[in-house]
Structure 1
Amino acid sequence: MGAEEIVLLNEADEAIGTAPKAESHHRDTPYHLAFSCYLVDPNGRVLITRRALDKRTFPGVWTGSCCGHPGPGEGLRAAVLRRLETELGVTADTITSVLPRFRYRATASDGVVEYERCPVVRAVTAEAEPRPGLDPAEVAEAEWRSWDECLELVRHPDSSPWYRLQLAELAPLGPPLGWPDAGTGDLPPALTW
């Protein structure tokens, strides 16, 4: 298996090429395609994860369930399913587009930048226990939390900047099982469903 590639974007969110993921995250990270996923159980709890302590970008921060980069030609749904399986050992029963237009730029304390068009999805699973140890280079811990606990995490200094920005948009939508389907029409041109 070759090195993971990210999809580079122009300001119109069109694909303009690819680059190796490992070499692309630094102080001048190029704008690229990503996604964030909030995994929800039938009781409305959300799986919150802590990023591995030795990750290149934002190590050790608490954030949503999983995030990643769709590969060249890979659809959003396929990328989400792939990362849920490889990072957490879970499958999703349904996946819904919630914030298809989300975009952010954040700089870590060491100067490393994340700069992403990052659609946000909700995935629902009936599986009770994730297995975050499947990929210790990605996930250090995983915990099911109530929606109120997720809202409280925004105030925690060790929550990721994209989590805080996403929750600012998700909080008005109410608890996650009720988040409306935003459809796929506002996904970036570089990304299929």
Structure 2
Amino acid sequence: MSAPATWDGSGTQEDLMYRDECIIVDDKDNIIGHDSKYAAHRFIPEQPGGMLHRAFSVFLFDDRNKLLLQQRASSKITFPSLWTNTCCSHPLYGQTPSEVDVPEDVASGAVPGAKRAAVRKLLHELGIPPEQVPLQKFKYLTRLHYKAADAFAENQSMTGGPWGEHEMDYILFIKPDAPVTIEPNPDEIDDVKWVNREELREMMGPSSGLRWSPWFRIICERFLDAWWSDLERTIESDAHEDFETIHEVM
């Protein structure tokens, strides 16, 4: 079943797990099909690593170069209560306009599908109006292929759990021209926080007791400090672009 063209994020989390369709890819990021979020995220004996599917991770910065973090809602089916980057989700199959990027989109770095999905989810999760985060302000940097079982979910009430992520993650930076309006959706987010680099290091230290999403930890360890310390060049130039490499962390 395709995701409806006028999808607005309505419905329960369980509704969306069955209704939303992820874009299924191989390890070279070639599209090989589509299936529900429910099917794609099941880590079960018949499918121990889930289905590899496209995702995106948005890093949104303000005029002081502070990064917006979110804490995922405790009611989330997957990875509840974890702190992570501004917004993390999936381009969907069947959307109008399309969120499916073809090879030419990826090779050029345009990735309009991933950017449209990011705008949609920034509105759904954080209440940020689309006009405050126009497509042309997003900077696509590279792709990350990782797999992580969900060791934190206590809600295994849906038939088919436990859960995990197996993603081809498109990393997107954005620094809007003006402050954004934030109205977090309580079904998606428990808390938000703007941080600088030092504040993030403190929050991620073992003494904080905070838990972090596996994809965010990988991005922090591999890339984030270099990109963030050079933020203007990262966003305004091709200095840190890498459209060809798929960074594997398995």
Q: Same fold (TM over 0.5)?
A: yes
Report the Cα offset of residue 143 of structure 1: 1.2
Q: Distance in 1 between matches of 2:188 and 2:245?
A: 25
The one-character-per-residue Cα deviations of 1:31-79 (angstroms, maximum 9, x if unpaired) are 1100000111111111100001121211000000001101124111111
Please state which structure has a larger fraction of its residues in helix: 2
SS of the residue aligned with 1:132?
A: coil
- Whether 1:81 aligns to 2:102 is no
Q: How many residues align?
A: 185
Q: Which has the higher contact order (CA 8 A, sep 6+)?
A: 1
Rg comparison, structure with higher value: 2
1:103 aligns with 2:145: yes
- Would the alpha carbon gap of residues 55 and 176 (structure 1) be closer, same or farther in structure 2, given more than 3 Å must change? farther
C-alpha spacing 1:174/1:58, structure 2 compared with 1 (3 Å): same
List aligned pairs for 1:58-97, cutoff 5 A.
58-72=79-93, 73-74=98-99, 75-90=113-128, 91-92=132-133, 94-97=137-140
**Partners of 1:131 and 1:178 in 2: CA distance:** 27
Q: Which amino acid aligns with 2:117?
A: A
Question: Gaps (5+ residues) in structure 1?
Answer: 189-193
Amino acid corresponding to residue 213 of structure 2 in structure 1: S
Specify which of 161, 166, 173 is matched with residue 219 of structure 2.
Answer: 166
In structure 1, the residue matched to 2:179 is 127
Q: Percent identity?
A: 28
Match of 2:61 among 34, 40, 57: 40
Worse-matched range after superposition: 44-53 or 122-131 = 122-131
Q: Which portions of structure 1, spanning 4 or more consecutive aligned residues, are displaced by more than 6 angstroms?
A: none
TM-score, scaled to structure 2: 0.67
User: Gapped runs of 5+ residues in structure 2?
Assistant: 5-18, 100-112, 154-161
Following superposition, the deviation at residue 184 of structure 1 comes to 7.4
- Cα distance in 1 for partners of 2:42, 2:140 equals 29
TM-aligned CA distance change 1:153 to 1:103, over 3 Å: farther
Other structure's SS at 2:35 match: strand
Cα separation, 2, equivalents of 1:45 and 1:64: 12
User: Contact 1:119–1:187 (CA<8 Å) still a contact in 2?
Assistant: no
| Change in 2 beyond 3 A, CA 1:16/1:25 | same
Q: SS at the partner of 1:33?
A: strand
Bigger proportion of residues as strand: 1
Question: Taking structure 1 as the reference length, what is the TM-score of the superposition?
Answer: 0.85
2:51 equivalent to 1:30: yes
- Whether 2:191 is the aligned partner of 1:141: answer yes
1:9 touches 1:16 (CA, 8 Å); kept in 2?
yes
The answer to whether the Cα contact below 8 Å between 1:151 and 1:167 also exists between their aligned partners in 2 is no
Q: Distance in 2 between matches of 1:32 and 1:144?
A: 29
Report whether the alignment pairs 1:17 with 2:33.
yes
Change (3 A) 1:47 1:179: farther
